[in-house]
Amino acid sequence: MNDSIRTSDYLLMALAALRGNPMRSLLTTLGIVFGVASLIAMMAIGNGATARIDKLIQSFGSNTLTVTSGSAQTGGVRMGAGSKPTLRARDADAILREAEGVLAVSPQLNSSGQLIAGNLNWSSQVQGVTSAHLDVANWALAEGRWLEPADGRGAARVAVLGQTVARELFPDRSPIGESLRINRSNFTVIGVLVAKGQTSFGRDQDDVVFVPIETVRRHLLGDPLMADAVGSMLVKAADGVNLDELQLSLGEILRQSHRLSANADDDFQIRNFAQTVAARSETLRIMTGFLAMVAGIALLVGGIGIMNIMLVTVTERTKEIGLRMAVGAAPRAILLQFVIEAGLLALAGGVIGVLLGALAAWAAGKATGMDVIIDSGSVLLGTLSSIATGLFFGYYPALRASRLSPMEALRSE
């Protein structure tokens, strides 16, 4: 036995040593298993959440502000957003006319309704919008056409369906040109939108019907007080516009339009979608950091466990080490043998951890509806982390073994 021994021989020797004590080897790797499993699950959930946020930004657009009616105070009671319709059509005109950097404004007036097509029915949200909404909300048509200005002026009874509504009411045919009944009023379907999926709050964005906003006022709500009312507005800014500054500008325009005194509360709310996304991203970053800390602690504990077991192994095999040195094995060969054994032990824990982490992430996704994405980078990082932990914590026991005196080692019991 000498230094010419090949690396494959070291691997075989390490495997034989691990097989000699399978239960001890399994228990030693538990820390590595949980550490890598935490790492894989963390990255899968983080990747899924990041993809969801990116999709959300893509679906809404990162340069969009939302203006809603409220908060009104009645008798000292502060009402929620949208509890009192304070926005009017003229507000949208004022914003488009006076605010710098605004590309388009899409006023909306929402209602809900029971939709009937043939012998099928479906309850959904009915949104009254203008022709600008398709661009402002970053929607796209799958088939048919979108609402035109003439549809609004004539309060036409035409409807554009989200994918969910189209699937539920027209499961086996194209809905274009078909008749649809909304709260006792007949509408003609003129278009179907591409699917957007769920929001980060789990709401199905495709469960919606778009009709002209004037049609909602005249035929669905039928309330004369809602003649020019607007429930909310989407404001699309040009690229490069500072949304915080635009938000302040919109507030001033709306306060002037509503003739609010200096000490009066706003009777509207403006939300910066980018701020909402940033807040959620920060929450995700904190959660990811916490999970990374858990994974790091588990790997540290696993590494200490490997070091302890390797120290015990060196003690138990001192005579074997002495015998190898007596027949010509160099200290470097002894060092390499035990380092490979520790690395192999950690690699086994890493592989089990990857599988366990993937299973945990899949289960979490199924249970909560979260998106989880396990990519090759996560698997590679988990595997390399386990190997690095094993090599780092296995180096000291291996170094100790390589520095043993052959004579003392042979005399040991």
Q: Closest Cα to residue 213, out of 130, 312, 132?
A: 130
Catalogue the long-range contacts made by 286-293 (C-beta closer than 8 Å, 24 or more residues apart). 287/45, 287/46, 288/42, 288/45, 288/46, 291/38, 291/41, 291/42, 291/45, 291/46, 292/39, 292/42
Q: For all residues of the chain together, what is the average pLDDT?
A: 83
- How does DSSP assign 334-381, residue by residue? HHHHHHHHHHHHHHHHHHHHHHHHHHHHHHHHHHH-------HHHHHH
| pLDDT for position 169 | 93
How many Å apart are CA 13 and CA 374, to the nearest integer?
34
Q: Dump pLDDT digits (tens) for 315-345.
A: 888 888 888 888 888 888 888 888 888 888 8
| pLDDT for position 199 | 66
| pLDDT for position 261 | 85
Q: How confident is the model at residue 72 (pLDDT cuts 50, 70, 90)?
A: very low
Tokens of residue 196, six digits: 């957007």
pLDDT higher than threshold 70 for residue 57? no
pLDDT higher than threshold 90 for residue 392? yes
Mean pLDDT, range 66-73, rounded to an integer: 72
| pLDDT for position 330 | 85
| pLDDT for position 223 | 64
Higher pLDDT, 148 or 283: 148
| pLDDT for position 58 | 65
**Contact in structure between 155 and 215 (CB atoms under 8 Å):** yes
| pLDDT for position 165 | 93
| pLDDT for position 249 | 92
Mean pLDDT, range 240-259, rounded to an integer: 89
pLDDT higher than threshold 50 for residue 74? no
How many Å apart are CA 370 and CA 46, to the nearest integer?
10
Higher pLDDT, 78 or 308: 308
Higher pLDDT, 303 or 81: 303
Say what percent of the chain tops pLDDT 90: 23
pLDDT higher than threshold 50 for residue 196? yes
Q: Dump pLDDT digits (tens) for 13-40.
A: 777 777 777 787 778 888 889 888 888 8
Q: Dump pLDDT digits (tens) for 178-191.
A: 999 998 889 999 99
Q: Closest Cα to residue 341, out of 320, 311, 319, 318?
A: 311
The alpha carbons of the chain give a radius of gyration, in whole angstroms, of 33
